[in-house]
Structure 1
Amino acid sequence: MSEPTYYAPEGGLPSQTTLLTDRAIVKEAYTVIPRGVLRDIVTSNLPGWNHTRSWIIAKPIAGFATTFAQYIVEVSPGGGSDRPEPESGVESVLFLLTGALNVVIDGEKHALTPGGYAYLPAGADWSVTNDSDAPATFTWVRKAYEPLEGHAPKAFAVQEQDIEPTPMPDTNGAWATTRFVDPDDLAHDMHVNIVTFEPGAVIPFAETHVMEHGIYVLEGKAVYRLNDDWVEVQAGDFMWLRAFCPQACYAGGPGKFRYLLYKDVNRQIKLT
């Protein structure tokens, strides 16, 4: 069984002879940010962080996806933050793509390697440092937590490699989901999972549902159905889907197609 791989951008700039045509798409129902646009000149500094740069790939925008923000963060050796989260009501998931990262949560240190996953509930006391001699890159999902009486999520850190994927029904394991929290745990109002397709596997219907999605491709390539379009995607691409955007895919091979998937879950729809 091959070890999983996790694509991370390296920045830089294309040469002056490079064609401008790329796969970037922005439509009412979805956005595709291909890895080729994650360059040095579109990075942002984050207040409270040192020796760090970020690509902000999703944020709430009126009339489009509204529930979350997502970043790709590159922390240089010696970099990090003692106060990474400026908003007390915001929860986070960190997923390490490359390098090594130390995350301290409420005084407990967790050493993450590629595939490391940390859930930080709203109000948690946490910090991040890169104590290695190489850059560390992670994707960071942030969401305003919706409290639910009698339920409170707890912080944790794990490695993806230690969790057995759950095969989807009637797929013989060709489509599987690595779940980091129990889907029935109402304390969690978002899920950030890893979805894996074997070569040639498919989502066999056009999913059309209330959950928004942020999809960061970790490995492989596929043809993805987004609303009424078929779009080619590969490792390092990001897709941003509003609620009720029809979606499906064919995994292209020759290896696995894998992505990190955000969705909002487990809360009543607010009408007032």
Structure 2
Amino acid sequence: MPTNNLPNYYAPTGGHPPQTQLTADRAVFTEAYALIPKGVMRDIVTSNLPFWNGTRAWILARPLSGFAETFSQYIMEVQPGGGSDKPEPEADAEGVLFVVEGELTLTIDGVRHTLVPGGYAFIPPGVQWRVRNDAQAPVRFHWIRKAFEYVDGLEVPEAFVTNEQAITPNEMPGTEGRWSTTRFVDPNDVRHDMHVTIVNFQPGGVIPFDETHVMEHGLYVLEGKAVYHLNQQWVEVEAGDFMWLRAFCPQACYAGGPGPFRYLLYKDVNRHASLKLFR
């Protein structure tokens, strides 16, 4: 059953370090993976976006040669009274919103929803939507965007809104609950071409082999700490860090404790490997 204990989600607040702080951090950018640690998510690396008011964004991933190919991921910070009536500039873009702090008013095709921490919304391409912060404190949420891959004979999935607290995690076989996944979409529903899930580890839980697969990943650590094995290198990560993993990058992890280790995970799914690149 879903827990009644509200989870902790890390969200950046910006700021600027003092001149006395050591310059070197854990930031890494390679051809196989990248690590953007929480310590570099400062005021001077935020972006303003057209038609968004009272808003700034930390852009964590974007389609780029040698970097993310299938998605973009932002952390949005919207001040009271801020938001957008024209949030998405690309007609074929689908999106997922996941709230980590504050309260967000989301309207999809005229239907109003209130999202609090743990709130999740899937927004298919072609729908009208807008967001507003009607509360008295900033709201911070992840916005993951992908160009939807249409398939003849498959319908576009419908929009929906839910909350992590309404979903029972699926335990991975043979792990006694040490490793589980909170799935917002049925993995057998091939209408969806991306999954955004929450992966949960109890202290000491592991991915016990180097996963090597076609899916590209974006991972934002919501809570806890771990060591990740990425392309034969061990990398320490903690709440607030973001990782990009290229398709086929070997990956495994060990949850370091003392509390749960949890991350928001993007991956592209349910489509053929396109050959257009080679035409």
TM-score where L is the length of structure 2: 0.96
Residue 154 (structure 1) aligned with residue 135 (structure 2): no
Match of 1:198 among 181, 202, 213: 202
C-alpha displacement at 1:62, in angstroms?
1.2
Match of 1:177 among 153, 178, 181: 181
SS in 2 for 1:230: strand
In 2: Cα distance, 1:173 partner to 1:112 partner: 28
The equivalent residue for 1:102 is: 105
SS in 1 for 2:47: coil
Residue 91 (structure 1) aligned with residue 91 (structure 2): no
Residue 24 (structure 1) aligned with residue 27 (structure 2): yes
Contact persistence 1:30–1:239 (CA under 8 A): yes
Residue 40 (structure 1) aligned with residue 46 (structure 2): no
The equivalent residue for 1:49 is: 52
SS in 1 for 2:206: coil
- Structure 1: runs of 5 or more not aligned: none
RMSD: 0.8
The equivalent residue for 2:264 is: 260
C-alpha displacement at 1:152, in angstroms?
1.5
Residue 75 (structure 1) aligned with residue 81 (structure 2): no
- Deviation per CA, 1:77-101: give whole Å up to 9, x if none: 0000001000000000000010000
- Deviation per CA, 1:214-243: give whole Å up to 9, x if none: 000000000011111100000000000100
The equivalent residue for 2:69 is: 66
Residue 238 (structure 1) aligned with residue 237 (structure 2): no
Residue 133 (structure 1) aligned with residue 99 (structure 2): no
The equivalent residue for 1:143 is: 146
- Give the fraction of aligned pairs with identical amino acids, expressed as a percent: 65
Contact persistence 1:8–1:98 (CA under 8 A): yes
C-alpha displacement at 1:249, in angstroms?
0.3
- Deviation per CA, 1:58-109: give whole Å up to 9, x if none: 0011133200000000000000000100000000000001000010011111
Contact persistence 1:225–1:231 (CA under 8 A): yes
C-alpha displacement at 1:44, in angstroms?
0.4
Question: What does residue range 194-233 of structure 1 map to in structure 2 within 5 Å?
Answer: 194-233=198-237
SS in 1 for 2:211: coil
Contact persistence 1:151–1:186 (CA under 8 A): no
In 2: Cα distance, 1:30 partner to 1:164 partner: 31
Counterpart of 2:157, as a letter, is P
In 2: Cα distance, 1:256 partner to 1:235 partner: 11
The equivalent residue for 2:122 is: 119
